[in-house]
Amino acid sequence: MNTVLALRDVSKQFPSHLAVDRVSLQVQRGEFFSLLGPSGCGKTTTLRMIAGFETPTSGEIRLNGAPIEQLKPYERNVSTVFQNYALFPHLTVRENVEFGLRRTKQSDIAKRVRDVLELVRLSGKESRYPTQISGGERQRVALARSLVLAPDVLLLDEPLSALDPNLRKQLRSELKSLQRRVEITFLFVTHDQEEALSMSDRIGVMHAGVLEQVGTPEEIYLTPRTRFVAGFLGAMNWLGDIGVRPEAVRVSESAPGNGARCRSATVVQSSFLGNCLRLEARLENGDPLVAELSRLNGSFAPGDRVHLWWQPADELTFV
Amino acid sequence: MIRLRRLFLAPAWIITAGLFLAPLGIVVVYSLLTRGAYGGFSLPWTAESYTRLMDPLYLPILLRSFWIAGASTVLCLLLGFPLALFIARSGARRNLYLSMVMLPFWTSFLVRTYAWMFLLRDTGLINSLLIKLGVIHDPLPLLYNDGAVLVGLVYSYLPFMVLPLYGTLERLDGTLLEAAADLGATPWAALTRVVIPLCTPGIRAGSILVFIPCLGAYLTPDLLGGGKSEMIGNLIQNQFTTARDWPFGSAISLVLMGIVMALLFAFVRRDREGLL
C-alpha cells in the first residue's frame, strides 16, 4: 500500500463561513475511501478542492507526491462523477465516454470505449442520447466517462443519491465490485452512513468542516472517537456522557447480578420488525432508552415493568 | 367559454387582418399594375415589374444587401457571444448589464443613427480627436461608406443577438463546464465542444433576428452610407418617393419578403427541436 492522495491542513474559507477546517487525510492506492457527513459538513467542498473546482485557502494537496492545489482541473489526473452526472446532452453515450480521450490514438479510443462500456454493461446503448436512457444507465455513463481515463483517483459526489432507493441498494455492491475489478482508487462522498459502511475500506467522518475520525467501518462504528461520530453512525442511547447502542441492550424481568449495568424501565412501545423487536422504554428519571432485541425474548406490552441492562464494555464514554 | 375566448381574441384578429393582411394585399395588387404617369398606378395588369428585377442593374444591390446583412450578423455574433457569456456569468449584476444592453432602445433609432454621423464625419468627434492628438493630419473617411453602414447596423441590432444568446447561456448547466474541465478540456475546448453546441438555438434565433431587419434596412444605409452604399431598402424607398414607381417598389418588397421567408423556413426546418 502506498499513498496516492494526501491532504495536509487543507482549509477553505468562504465569504460567509469556514467550509473546511484544516483537514489532513491520506488515501491509499486502490482504496475505497468514503467521506461521510451531514450536508454542509464540508465533504463536497473537500472533493471539489481535490478536483480543482475550488482552490484551498491554505494547506497542501498532493497527488502521487506532487502538489496539485494550484493546477487547473484539466491538468489533474483525477476525475469526477457528479451528483447529477453532468452528461453532455448533445452527445451520445459513446461521444460522452470519448470526450476525455481527445489526445489518445484513434485506434485505441475505439477499444477503450468498447471495453469500458462492456464493464458498466452499456454495450448496445452507444448511440443513445442521455435523455433516452434511464437514471441508472446515466450514472453508469458518468462512471464510464471517468473510468476510461484511468484516473489516479476517481471522485464520486453522492453518485447514488439521485436514484430510487431500491436501485441505490443494488448499485452499492455493484459499485464496490466494479472498484475491485478496475483497481482504481475511489474517493466517495456521501451523507448516507449505510452506503459508507457497506462499501468502504476506510471512512472519514466530517462535521462542521472538521475531519473528526478516520478508520475502517468497524473502527468508526465500534470505537467512535467523538460524540458526533457515535451519534451519526447508527442509533445511540445517551445517558449523560455515556452512549449505548440499542443492539447492546438486553432485557430481563429481574436484575441480572453479573456485573452488568442495569436500569429499571417502563415499556412505552414495542414494535415487531421481523428480524428483531424494537423496544422503546422510559427510565425512572424520564430518559428514553431504545433496545433492539431478539424476537426470542418474548413480547412486551406498553406499561410493562422491565429491567434493561448491558455490559460495561458496550458503553462509549465521551467527555 | 368559447364565445368569450373569441371575444378576447377579436382585437388581435382585427389588428392583424386590418393592419397587416390588408396592406399586404394592396402591395400584391400594386405590384401587378402599371406605373401611373404622375406616380400612383393604373391599368393594365402586368408582370413587368417582376421581370424588370432581372435587370443586371439591380442584382449588385441585392448582392450588396445580402453581403452587408450577412457581415452584420457575423459581427453581431462575434461581439454578442462574449458579451452574453459575460452577462450570464456575472451573478447578481446580470440585470444591471442586461438593462445596459437594452438602454439604447429608450431613445429614437433616428437620433441614435444621427449620433453616429456626429461621431464619424470629417469634423466629427473621432476625427477631430485624432487630429488634435497628432495621430493623423487629414480626417479619415469614416462616414458614407460600407464600413459606416456596418457599424450602424451592428450597433443597432446587437441587442437582438445578445438577448437570445443570453437566454440559452443562462440556462446552461454550470456543472457541464466543470465536467468538461474535469475530463481534460481547456476553457477553449469546453467553449467549442460544449458551450457553443448547446447554444445553437440561441445562435440561430439571434442570427435570424439580426439578419432579417439588416437585409431590409434603409435608414442606416441612407444616413451613414450617404446614398453611395445603397441596399434593397433604399431601392424600395426610392421607388415610392423620387422614382414614383409604386408597382416596381411593391414588386421588390414582395420578392424581398419571399426570399426572407424561404430562408426562414430553411432555417427552421433544420432546427430539429424547434427551439427557435
Nearest C-alpha neighbor of B233 from the set B208, B214, B258: B214
pLDDT tens-digit map of A188-240: 999 999 899 999 999 999 999 999 999 999 999 999 999 999 989 888 999 88
Q: Are residues A74 and B181, on separate chains, in Cβ contact within 8 Å?
A: yes
Chain-chain contact of B175 with A86 (C-beta, under 8 angstroms): yes
pLDDT at A128 over 80: yes
B3 or B17, which is more confident: B17
Establish if A231 touches chain B: CB-CB under 8 angstroms: no
In A, which residues are within 8 Å of B180 by CB distance? 88, 99
Eight-class DSSP state of A16: S
Distance CA B213, CA B72 (A): 11
A79 vs B182, B197, B198: nearest CB: B182
What is the Rg, in whole angstroms, of the alpha carbon atoms belonging to chain B? Answer: 23
Mean pLDDT across the stretch B112-119? 86
Position A37 scores a pLDDT of 93
pLDDT tens digits, A49-89: 999 999 999 999 999 999 998 999 999 999 999 998 999 99
pLDDT for B270: 65
Express each pLDDT in B64-106 by its tens digit. Answer: 889 999 999 999 999 999 999 999 888 888 889 989 888 888 8
- Average pLDDT rounded to a whole number, residues A126-152: 91
Cross-strand bridge partners of residue B215: none
Asked whether the predicted pLDDT for residue B272 surpasses 60, the reply is no
Q: Is B275 on the interface with A (CB under 8 A)?
A: no
Residue whose entry in the numeric block shows the C-alpha cell 502521487:
A64
Helix, strand, or coil (residue A132): helix
Q: Do B184 and A146 touch (CB under 8 A)?
A: no
Please give the helix or strand (H or E) that residue A122 lies within, else none.
none
ipTM of the complex: 0.82
CA A160 – CA B58 distance, rounded (Å): 66
pLDDT at residue number B275: 42
Tell me whether B182 touches chain A (CB under 8 Å): yes
Number of neighbours of residue B163 by Cβ within 10 angstroms: 19
What is d(CA A165, CA B62) in angstroms, rounded to the nearest whole number?
A: 64
The count of CB pairs under 8 A between chains A and B is 57
Please name the residues in contact with B187: beta carbons below 8 A apart, sequence gap of 6 or more.
B181
Could you tell me which of A106, A171, A166 has the C-alpha nearest to residue A142? A171
Identify the three-state secondary structure at position A279: strand
Contact assignment for B182 to A99 by CB distance below 8 Å:
no
d(CA A233, CA A37): 9
Nearest C-alpha in B relative to A51: B182
Report how far residue A263's alpha carbon sits from residue A281's, in angstroms, rounded to the nearest whole number.
11
pLDDT greater than 80 at residue B196: yes
Residues facing residue A239 across a β-bridge: A242
Compare all CA atoms of chain B with the CA of A78 and give the residue at the minimum distance: B182
d(CA B214, CA B176): 35
Residue of B178, B183, B198 lying closest to A90 (CB–CB): B198
Long-range contacts of range A60-67, CB-CB < 8 Å, 24 or more positions apart? A60/A6, A60/A7, A60/A8, A60/A9, A60/A10, A61/A5, A61/A6, A61/A7, A61/A8, A61/A10, A62/A5, A62/A6, A62/A7, A62/A8, A63/A4, A63/A5, A63/A152, A63/A153, A64/A4, A64/A152, A65/A3
Residue type, A236: M
Supply B269's cell numbers. Answer: 426546418
d(CA B163, CA B158): 9
Cα–Cα distance for residue pair B44/B32, rounded to 1 Å: 9
Residue A99 to residue B173, Cβ atoms within 8 A = no
Lowest average pLDDT, out of A61-65, A106-110, B180-184, goes to: A106-110
DSSP chain B: -HHHHHHHHHHHHHHHIIIIIHHHHHHHHHHTSEEPBTBSEESSP--HHHHHTTSTTTHHHHHHHHHHHHHHHHHHHHHHHHHHHHHHTSGGGHHHHHHHHHGGGGS-HHHHHHHHHHHHSTTSHHHHHHHHTTS-SS----SSSHHHHHHHHHHHHHHHHHHHHHHHHHHS-HHHHHHHHHTT--HHHHIIIIIHHHTHHHHHHHHHHHHHHHHT--HHHHHHSTTSS--HHHHHHHHHTTS--HHHHHHHHHHHHHHHHHHHHHHHHH-TT---
Predicted confidence at residue B1, as pLDDT, reads 60
Residue A158 neighbours by CB distance under 10 Å: 20
Structural contact between residues A147 and A184, judged by C-beta atoms closer than 8 angstroms: yes
Please give the Cα distance from A33 to A203 (Å, whole number): 6
Nearest Cα of chain B lies from the Cα of A223 at a distance, in angstroms, of 37
CB spacing of B186 vs A74 below 8 angstroms: yes
Q: Is the pLDDT of residue A12 over 50?
A: yes
Give SS3 for A175: helix
Integer angstrom CA distances of residue A29 from A3, A63, A103, A142, B90: 6, 11, 25, 22, 40
Residue B274, pLDDT score: 43
- The pLDDT of residue A88 is 95
- H/E element holding A52? none
Across the range A32-56, mean pLDDT stands at 94
Q: Which amino acid is at A317?
A: T
Q: Is residue B263 less than 8 Å (CB to CB) from chain A?
A: no
* B245-268 pLDDT, tens digit each: 888 888 999 988 998 888 888 877
Picking from B185, B197, B198, the nearest residue to A74 by CB comes out as B185
Q: Do B179 and A80 touch (CB under 8 A)?
A: yes
Residues of A in contact with B183 (CB under 8 A): 74, 79, 99-100, 145-146, 149
- Core vs surface per residue A201-217: b (16+ CB within 10 A) or e: bbbbbbbbbbbbbbbeb
From B173, B176, B184, residue closest to A102, measured CB to CB:
B184
Is the pLDDT score of B276 beyond 50? Answer: no
- Give the distance, in angstroms, between the CA of residue A56 and the centroid of all CA atoms in the same chain: 23
At A4 the pLDDT is 94
In degrees and rounded to multiples of 5, residue B216 shows phi and psi of -95, 10
Contact residues, chain A, for B194 at CB < 8 Å: 88
Rounded to 5°, the CA angle B130-B134-B140 comes to 40
* φ/ψ (deg, to 5) at B116: -65, -35
Contacts of A78 in chain B (CB under 8 A): 182
Under the banding of pLDDT at 50, 70 and 90, the label for residue A142 is very high
**B158 vs B4, residue with greater confidence:** B158
Residue of B nearest to A145 (CA): B183
| H or E element in which residue A37 lies | none
Residues B185 and B146 sit within 8 Å (Cβ to Cβ): no
**A160 DSSP 8-state letter:** T
Contact list in B for residue A102 (CB cut-off 8 A) is 184-185, 189
Q: All 3 cell numbers of residue A167?
A: 436501485
Angstrom CA distances, B159 to B77, B105, B163, B219, stand at 10, 9, 6, 18
Cβ neighbours of A90 in B, within 8 Å: 197-198
Judge whether B70 and B152 are in contact, CB under 8 Å: no
Lowest mean pLDDT among A15-24, A157-166, B38-47: B38-47
Displacement of CA A89 from its chain's centroid (Å): 29
Candidate from B180, B184, B197 with C-beta closest to A90: B197
Rounded percentage of chain B residues whose pLDDT exceeds 90: 23
Q: pLDDT for A262-293, tens place per residue?
A: 888 999 998 888 888 899 999 988 889 999 98
A75 against B223, higher pLDDT: A75
First to last CA, chain A: 35
Is residue A9 within 8 A of residue A22, CB to CB? The reply is yes
